[in-house]
Amino acid sequence: GKTVEVWLSAQEGICNQDGYNRPCMTFNGTIPGPLITANWGDDLVIHVTNNLESNGTAIHWHGLRQLNTVQYDGVPGVTQCAIAPGETLTYRYKVSQYGSTWYHSHFSLQYSEGLFGPMVFNGPATANYDEDLGVLFLQDWSHTTVFRAWGHKQRYGITHSLSNLLLNGTNTFDCSAHDSDPNCVGGGKKFETVFKPGKKHLIRLANVALDSQFRFSIDGHKLKVIANDLVPIEPYETDSVVISAAQRYDIVVEANAKSDNYWMRAVWVNTCSAVANDNPNSGTGIVRYDASSVAEPTTTSNVMLPAGCADEPGESLVPYVKVDVGNIAGTTLENLNMRLTHEGVFQWTINSSTLIIDWANPTLKQIFDGVDLFPTPYNVVPVDKTSPDHAGDEWAILVIENVAAGALGEVAHPIHLHGHDFWILAQGYGTHWDGTQDSFQFTNPPRRDTAILPAHGYLAIAFRLDNPGVWLVHCHIAWHASQGLSLEFVERRGSISVQGQDRKVFDETCQAWDRWESQS
């Protein structure tokens, strides 16, 4: 493999994504940030400079396993100290997977302010397509900063409305209803892409929403789904896909239709969301067969919104490389329940405690310092092999139950695990877990890095204990994660080791954060 070097600057600015000016955060001045692309097996060297005024930051490479490089997973308070303003941290790791993903700030709600970008890793050319159209981001967008929106939600219990839906960071917005608003300057554009007649086009769909799930479709076209997250699957054909926050689907679309223009649609799935959307039907972009045409499409869609809030059906998501879940008997972490209970107003908790994040004292640092972590008063959980030098595979099973009472339990949560793909053993929709493994699928189950914990239901996942480190598992609805809907695994503590230059970089980042904090 070769080495690919990238420079990212996290900075503040005023953004106009859809004709509305608002304060925002960007990488290198654009939303989305620059594309990072490499080949499977390459080494990435990514220099991240924090040019934010008065905020720490840290960047996570969503879905990348960080095999033996937990110190570059980018979670402040867990795997690193936050990068202080004015400082640069260089992330170094190997590209261990191929396909489509995204990078994003893992500091508070920063990615919903604009701190995210695409990642594409080339692997063996197994998929059948002619044109690669790259990553297509679907996103909800607020016209106030989300910090402000979140503050209102916390303080006044206001159900916040998100203002728009963006496709690759762009859309139009109707300013006629906002005459007196000086920020509504107009000039937003619809996302457009061009199809070559008769050719097969790869679209790398990624949902980078703060909160929303979308149903994606292209009028007059079938979608062939070939990967979920970073895992190739047996291709299946469909009229539309539902995609939750942080999920990705690679889809191939054959340009076999007859008109000049078609709408593509990212329709907000309102049954998935506790926030309202001011503009629920505006997530449209344009597919042109005739690149010179400027006309708006006149096509229609008969794709229906789903009744509930679900993932694409598990039967459809069959991994191309088959892996069965085995040797679970030896696992130390059996049937750990993360119970979501409602304690106090708008405060989510797991096992009746909330994860405490200390930007200056990450769990990994405590491990280096030999701190006695367990039991913790908050959500840090040890996972170990039954015998440290057990040669074979061992697996952990995690059953997450959504037992919150009343309206809170009606919310579904896209659950993401760091450092691993997980195997989905069961998703229970609207039904409690019976406490047994009878319904679990162990033979080549769906495998990915983000999946829905259904409303009033459960999600059972398995992962291999093959990556010593500290790994977060959390809801990827940005404000839920910030409210504490997350948990850390310390996987095989005795085998976590960060040496030499990597350790020096880790320590320097913490020292710089301490200096900055004591000055401000």
Q: Is 104 in the site for ligand C2O (CB under 6 A)?
A: yes
Helix count and strand count (H, E) for the chain: 5, 32
Q: Smaller CB distance to ligand C2O: residue 325 or 396?
A: 396
Q: Smaller CB distance to ligand C2O: residue 110 or 284?
A: 110
φ/ψ of residue 101, rounded to 5:
-155, -165
Q: How far is the CB of 486 from ligand C2O (least distance, A)?
A: 8
Q: Smaller CB distance to ligand C2O: residue 93 or 173?
A: 93
Residues 456/482, Cβ–Cβ less than 8 Å: no
Q: Smaller CB distance to ligand C2O: residue 18 or 140?
A: 140
Q: How far is the CB of 430 from ligand C2O (least distance, A)?
A: 26
Q: How far is the CB of 151 from ligand C2O (least distance, A)?
A: 22
Q: Smaller CB distance to ligand C2O: residue 104 or 464?
A: 104
Two tokens, residue 193: 């892409």
Q: How far is the CB of 327 from ligand C2O (least distance, A)?
A: 27
Q: Which residues between 211 and 250 bind ligand C2O (CB under 6 A)?
A: 246
- DSSP for 50-112, please give it: E--SS--B-EEETT---TT-GGGS--BTTTBPPBPTT-EEEEEEE----EEEEEEE-STTGGG
Q: Could you give the count of Cα atoms lying within 13 Å of 255 in the half-sphere of its Cβ? A: 23
Q: Smaller CB distance to ligand C2O: residue 22 or 60?
A: 60
d(CA 51, CA 506): 19
Q: Smaller CB distance to ligand C2O: residue 104 or 288?
A: 104
Give the contact letters, 27-66, x = binds to ligand C2O (CB under 6 A), - = no. ---------------------------------x-x----
d(CA 411, CA 515): 41
Give the contact letters, 456-485, x = binds to ligand C2O (CB under 6 A), - = no. ----------------x-x-x---------
Burial 368-392 (b: 16+ CB within 10 A, else e): beeeebeebebbbbbbbbeeeeeee
φ/ψ of residue 481, rounded to 5:
-60, -45
Q: How far is the CB of 82 from ligand C2O (least distance, A)?
A: 15
Number of residues that bind ligand C2O (CB under 6 A): 10
d(CA 301, CA 5): 43
Give the contact letters, 387-416, x = binds to ligand C2O (CB under 6 A), - = no. -----------------------------x
Residues in CB range of 313: below 8 A, 6 or more apart: none
d(CA 82, CA 361): 10
Q: How far is the CB of 71 from ligand C2O (least distance, A)?
A: 16
Residue with nearest beta carbon to ligand C2O: 62
Q: List residues bridging with 137 in a β-sheet.
A: 206
d(CA 297, CA 288): 9
- The number of angstroms, rounded, from the C-alpha of 348 to the middle of its chain's C-alpha atoms is 19
Q: How far is the CB of 177 from ligand C2O (least distance, A)?
A: 34
Q: Which residues between 140 and 199 bind ligand C2O (CB under 6 A)?
A: none
Q: How far is the CB of 102 from ligand C2O (least distance, A)?
A: 7
Q: How far is the CB of 407 from ligand C2O (least distance, A)?
A: 26
Residues 218/262, Cβ–Cβ less than 8 Å: yes
Q: Which residues between 415 and 434 bind ligand C2O (CB under 6 A)?
A: 416, 418
Residues at the interface with ligand C2O (CB under 6 A): 60, 62, 104, 106, 246, 416, 418, 472, 474, 476
